[in-house]
A and B are shown apart, each in its own frame.
Chain A
Amino acid sequence: MSNSYTSDILKPFKLKTKQQELLIRVLILCLVYILAFITRLFSVLRYESMIHEFDPYFNYRTTLYVTQHGFYDFWNWFDYESWYPLGRIVGGTLYPGLMVTAALIYRLLHFLRFAVHIREVCVLTAPFFASNTTLVAYFFGKEIWDSGAGLVAAILIAVCPGYISRSVAGSYDNEGVAIFALLFTFYLFVKAVNTGSLAWGLASAFGYFYMVSAWGGYVFIINLIPLYVLVLLITGRYSMRLYVAYNCLYILGMLLAMQIRFVGFQHVQSGEHMAAMGVFFLMQVFYFLDWVKHMLSDTNLFQEFLRITVTCAVAVGGIALGVGMASGYISPWTGRFYSLLDPTYAKDHIPIIASVSEHQPTAWSSFMFDFHILLFLFPAGLYFCFKRLSDATIFIVMYGLTSMYFAGVMVRLILVATPAVCLISAIAVSATVKNLTVLLRSKTKVAQIGSTKGTSSAKASSKASLDQSQPFQKNGAMALLFGAFYLLSRYATHCTWVTSEAYSSPSIVLAARGAHGNRVIFDDYREAYFWLRQNTPLDAKVMSWWDYGYQITAMGNRTVIVDNNTWNNTHIATVGRAMSSYEDEAYEIIRSLDVDYVLVVFGGVTGYSSDDINKYKLSYYRFGEMMTEYGKPPGYDRARGVEIGNKDIKLEHLEEAFTTSNWIVRIYKVKPPNNRW
């Protein structure tokens, strides 16, 4: 009696299988969303909510400008406080997507009466977009394979170190938003190709526009998608859906992309974008041929016509391209992207690109560090995709392979490969787990059928033989399932450790272990910048190496000579020459640049090894009297591990203005010239 009573009460709460499934899926997605956000908050919890590194400070300063002055002033902004005396046209030399997004979020929050500071919005933009990326990954996985693969993809990408490295809280850089835009554009395009709907094509064009406004890596999209279309055409998968999707994306996307001043007319002028145009014309040719085939009834005639047309089309295209490049209208590939095709190019011809540590080729340990288990699952996923070839799986395979190749060329591009690797590995995991669980569940079903239905002898005998192998299979499946879960748990452990130890340090604050294991924090950089902000005249000009330019303008609020934009190598070379010359020659250069203060970074006291060692005199001034380490003579340089030779340095044209508490940043004031008679 009570049984039926409770079951009556619970009846409205008893869900059908489909509803149960939906509930589980929604729950998992919510948890993954929160997980992706939380795992990126290590540095906020350990230090405080601040912007990391160097480049994000420029983004922060521009976002501040947008919120204070509005969009149109930002779009036409000429910054006279950096690259003195040249200035910098900010509006036309940056990708505004990130700043505009953060400003919009800030406006929205203020509209809802949450009075947050713009810095908090900036710090947390990247984790927020990372969470959104997991959602997009779920839908993408669902599109390619099924919803199970989508869920696994969302989980994998939520914690993958390759993505976390550029999207921790505080890393306010273009990539944080750009990866979301990249995956979103790809998802919309694949959806458009699968459905052939104009609405999805339109959405993908707008997605592409967002990507172009966010990051210079949009060149990857505008080359991958035409390559994908070409592969589909070659393998005979031309269809009306593809035609609609690509045309919509290309034309609308190109028109929208030209609205960004930094991109300008590159879509019709630059060699890097010509592939897309070529494929566009090829598509028109295909459509034309299809139409002719439809009209003609004679297949032989059509074959002839086909051959002639294609040859003519390709020849005409080749000639047009040749004429364009020879006349100089179509510019060749820029050095940045050319070095991806010919990786040895940068080393020989553009030393400044080759010197950046992120542009080094990748060793296998870096792959292992950023991907762990996913690397093993990748070829399995490739195989699964090849077994079930469709337009969508061909796309993900191409994305995965091209991005893996580029990731091998440059460490920084592991970021671009991460979504593809996560998706393909998710396919492998999902398919394997599905097969295993089907095996596990099938046994019980068979036993049920055997017991409830009648005992027909034929059925019984076949069931008996099946039952014999079932225990083995079931045990094997259980073992494999446990193995798979163990593997995934090791992956989660690895990812958490990597996030916590390697990718959560704000480079502006340094930490070390003291003698007793306690944590020692070096906040010298901010100390120096705030000293500059409070103790120097408003129009003072600061000369330092270009690494610190953005931070000085953002936090110190003073004009700098060179900064991280590195758009004028001659100016940088002038500063470098001043830093490494004798004091008299340097003084002349300093006077010609109108500099008031010189800032150097020195690691001899703390053992901080990435300092400006070649500003010898400025670094080592008065260092000879300092006792740095117990038991060593005074003047012992802890970064180089030797005692310095010349302990008694005299400066003639500069005087020491400020040295931070751990001697990491040293600021010198330039003395005015002697009075002349």
Chain B
Amino acid sequence: MADHFFTFSIITLSLFVVASSGGLESELVADLLTLQAESKSGVIHLDDRTVSKFLTSPRTPRPYSFLIFFDAANFHDKPELRLRELRREFEIVASSFITNHNSSNTKLFFGDIEFRESQSSFQLFGVNSLPHVRLVGPTAKSLKDDSDVMDQGDFSRLAESMAEFVQYRTKLTVGPIHRPPALSKMQLGLITALLLLCLPLVAKRIFAGETLLHDPKIWLSGAVFVYFFSVSGAMHNIIRKMPMFLVDRNDPNKLVFFYQGSGMQLGAEGFAVGFLYTVVGLLLAFVTHVLVYVKDATAKRLAMLFTLLVSFWAVKKVILLDNWKTGYGIHGFWPSSWN
């Protein structure tokens, strides 16, 4: 009798525990869903308290996985870490995932955690370098050892590769990535309509020969601008997102404007060199065409002298800079029998 009672109580107790834990679990999930709905783009902001509530306290297996983005506000300005960009991509993955599952998924949640606020959680996870993204599976007991880390290769193609990582580890499909378009449909439609409206007017002006496009000076300045843009390596700076200048590593007060080493350059460097090039060319053109009309002989001579000196200095400067930067020592070849 006592045995029956004992077994019965054990069973009821365990059922109760299961039910309560199940109830506890569904409470957690509901909490997470509310937090998700409140947050921007579906990324829940975690701190020490919520980490313990949702991750360390509940028993495994938890009903959900968590993908966490580790962030640090004071590192946002370091371009090589790309924290802002990766954060944005992470948000895009999160919002795409939620939209594709019609906000009804409870298996995977996205969160981010900031260093200053939650240093102990960082220690819990054992994170000591950024950027860092971790996937905490339902069965992970120790946050440090049992969670999956997203590595550099998974960041390389941003949202697409992050989504693949998620799919591979959690077996949940993320679906197509929804990126906000550069111009919304409304804006696009407006612009097209405007273009169509101006078309007859523009055509008329073109045929009359009155547009701005007919003035050679506009074309000339456009041409010089294209030349300046290309030659100064501005394209290189834009593609590689090079900064204008760097802070000297040894002496934090000094700024480094010129990068030593061929194949790479800094922003200010590009502008300086481009300016020097353009100055020489334009001065030559100025001397040949504009100076001829000046009446005063002394003024002419002074201008000529000035042009000569400036051009000479500019060319010398550029060549010195180039030799310093690339380290090449360019010399002529004399016959070896002359040495």
Q: Mark A residues whose CB is within 8 Å of B.
A: 234-236, 303, 306-308, 310-311, 314-315, 343-344, 347-349, 351, 360-369, 375-384, 386-387, 389, 397, 401, 404-405, 407-409, 428, 431-432, 435, 469, 472, 476, 479-480, 483, 487, 493-494, 496-498, 500-501
Give the complex CA separation of A351 and B322 in angstroms.
31
Interface pair A408/B231, CB less than 8 Å apart: yes
Judge whether B264 is part of the interface by a CB distance below 8 angstroms: yes
- 5 more CB-based (< 8 A) A-B contacts, given A361-B238, A376-B281, A401-B223: A347-B239, A376-B280, A383-B282, A404-B226, A428-B284
Q: Given A351-B157, A363-B264, A364-B270, do A498 and B330 touch, yes or no (CB 8 Å)?
A: yes
Q: Mark B residues whose CB is within 8 Å of A.
A: 156-158, 196, 199-200, 203-204, 206-207, 209, 213-214, 216, 219-220, 223-224, 226-227, 229-236, 238-240, 262-265, 269-270, 273-274, 277-278, 280-282, 284-285, 288-289, 297, 301, 304, 308, 312, 315, 318, 322, 325-326, 328, 330-333
Which of B206, B226, B239 contacts A234 (CB under 8 A)? B206
Interface pair A404/B277, CB less than 8 Å apart: no
Give the complex CA separation of A378 and B280 in angstroms.
10
Which of A234, A315, A407 contacts B230 (CB under 8 A)? A407
Which of B223, B231, B236 contacts A375 (CB under 8 A)? B231
Closest CB in chain B relative to A294 CB, distance in Å = 15
Which of B240, B315, B326, B331 contacts A361 (CB under 8 A)? B240
Q: Which residues of chain A come closer than 8 Å to B301, judged between CB atoms? A: 472, 476
Interface centre among A311, A364, A383, A487 (most CB of B within 10 A): A364
The 10 closest A-B pairs by CB, nearest first: A379-B281, A383-B285, A408-B230, A361-B236, A408-B235, A364-B233, A380-B284, A404-B230, A363-B265, A310-B203
Q: Which residues of chain B come closer than 8 Å to A347, judged between CB atoms? A: 239
Which of A369, A389, A431, A498 contacts B262 (CB under 8 A)? A369
Secondary structure call for the A interface: helix
Interface pair B236/A408, CB less than 8 Å apart: yes
Q: Which residues of chain A come closer than 8 Å to B227, judged between CB atoms? A: 378-379, 382, 401, 404
Give the complex CA separation of A347 and B297 in angstroms.
57
Give the complex CA separation of A613 and B233 in angstroms.
32
Interface centre among B234, B312, B328 (most CB of A within 10 A): B328
Interface pair A368/B322, CB less than 8 Å apart: yes
Q: Given A362-B236, A379-B227, A500-B333, do A307 and B204 touch, yes or no (CB 8 Å)?
A: yes
Closest CB in chain B relative to A485 CB, distance in Å = 14
When C-beta atoms are compared, the residue in chain A nearest to B263 turns out to be A363
Q: Given A375-B231, A375-B277, do A383 and B206 touch, yes or no (CB 8 Å)?
A: no
Interface pair B239/A344, CB less than 8 Å apart: yes
Q: Given A376-B280, A408-B233, do A364 and B315 touch, yes or no (CB 8 Å)?
A: no
Give the complex CA separation of A496 and B130 in angstroms.
48
Interface pair A382/B220, CB less than 8 Å apart: yes
Closest CB in chain A relative to B182 CB, distance in Å = 11
Interface centre among B224, B270, B288 (most CB of A within 10 A): B288
Interface pair A307/B278, CB less than 8 Å apart: no
Interface pair A386/B223, CB less than 8 Å apart: yes
Closest CB in chain A relative to B319 CB, distance in Å = 8
Which of A344, A386, A397, A405 contacts B229 (CB under 8 A)? A405
Which of B273, B278, B332 contacts A493 (CB under 8 A)? B332
Give the complex CA separation of A435 and B292 in angstroms.
12
When C-beta atoms are compared, the residue in chain A nearest to B276 turns out to be A376
Give the complex CA separation of A366 and B235 in angstroms.
13
Closest CB in chain B relative to A364 CB, distance in Å = 4
Interface pair B297/A469, CB less than 8 Å apart: yes
Q: Which residues of chain A come closer than 8 Å to B220, judged between CB atoms? A: 382-383, 386
Give the complex CA separation of A124 and B159 in angstroms.
50
Interface pair B223/A382, CB less than 8 Å apart: yes
Interface pair B233/A476, CB less than 8 Å apart: no
Closest CB in chain B relative to A298 CB, distance in Å = 16
Closest CB in chain B relative to A261 CB, distance in Å = 34
Closest CB in chain A relative to B256 CB, distance in Å = 16
Closest CB in chain B relative to A373 CB, distance in Å = 8
Closest CB in chain B relative to A179 CB, distance in Å = 19
Q: Can you give 26 contacting A-B residue pairs, CB < 8 Å?
A: A308-B200, A310-B200, A310-B203, A343-B239, A360-B263, A362-B236, A363-B236, A363-B263, A363-B264, A363-B265, A364-B265, A364-B273, A367-B231, A368-B322, A369-B322, A376-B315, A378-B227, A379-B227, A380-B285, A383-B220, A383-B289, A397-B223, A404-B227, A409-B235, A428-B281, A487-B315
Give the complex CA separation of A497 and B234 in angstroms.
27
Which of B209, B263, B315, B332 contacts A236 (CB under 8 A)? B209
Interface pair A383/B203, CB less than 8 Å apart: no
Interface pair A376/B200, CB less than 8 Å apart: no
Q: Which residues of chain B come closer than 8 Å to A435, judged between CB atoms? A: 288
Give the complex CA separation of A211 and B264 in angstroms.
33
Give the complex CA separation of A564 and B328 in angstroms.
32
Q: Which residues of chain B come closer than 8 Å to A397, judged between CB atoms? A: 223
Q: Which residues of chain B come closer than 8 Å to A306, judged between CB atoms? A: 203-204, 207
Give the complex CA separation of A583 and B204 in angstroms.
73
Give the complex CA separation of A409 and B196 in angstroms.
32
Interface pair A307/B330, CB less than 8 Å apart: no
Which of B200, B209, B219, B285 contacts A307 (CB under 8 A)? B200
Q: Which residues of chain B come closer than 8 Å to A469, judged between CB atoms? A: 297
When C-beta atoms are compared, the residue in chain A nearest to B332 turns out to be A493
Give the complex CA separation of A331 and B209 in angstroms.
36
Which of B158, B204, B263, B328 contacts A366 (CB under 8 A)? B263
Give the complex CA separation of A428 and B284 in angstroms.
9
Which of A303, A344, A476, A487 contacts B304 (CB under 8 A)? A476
Give the complex CA separation of A500 and B224 in angstroms.
33
Give the complex CA separation of A207 and B312 in angstroms.
42
Interface pair A379/B235, CB less than 8 Å apart: no
Give the complex CA separation of A432 and B284 in angstroms.
9
Interface pair A348/B280, CB less than 8 Å apart: no
Give the complex CA separation of A362 and B262 in angstroms.
10
Give the complex CA separation of A428 and B239 in angstroms.
32
Interface pair A431/B288, CB less than 8 Å apart: yes
Closest CB in chain A relative to B328 CB, distance in Å = 8
When C-beta atoms are compared, the residue in chain A nearest to B280 turns out to be A376
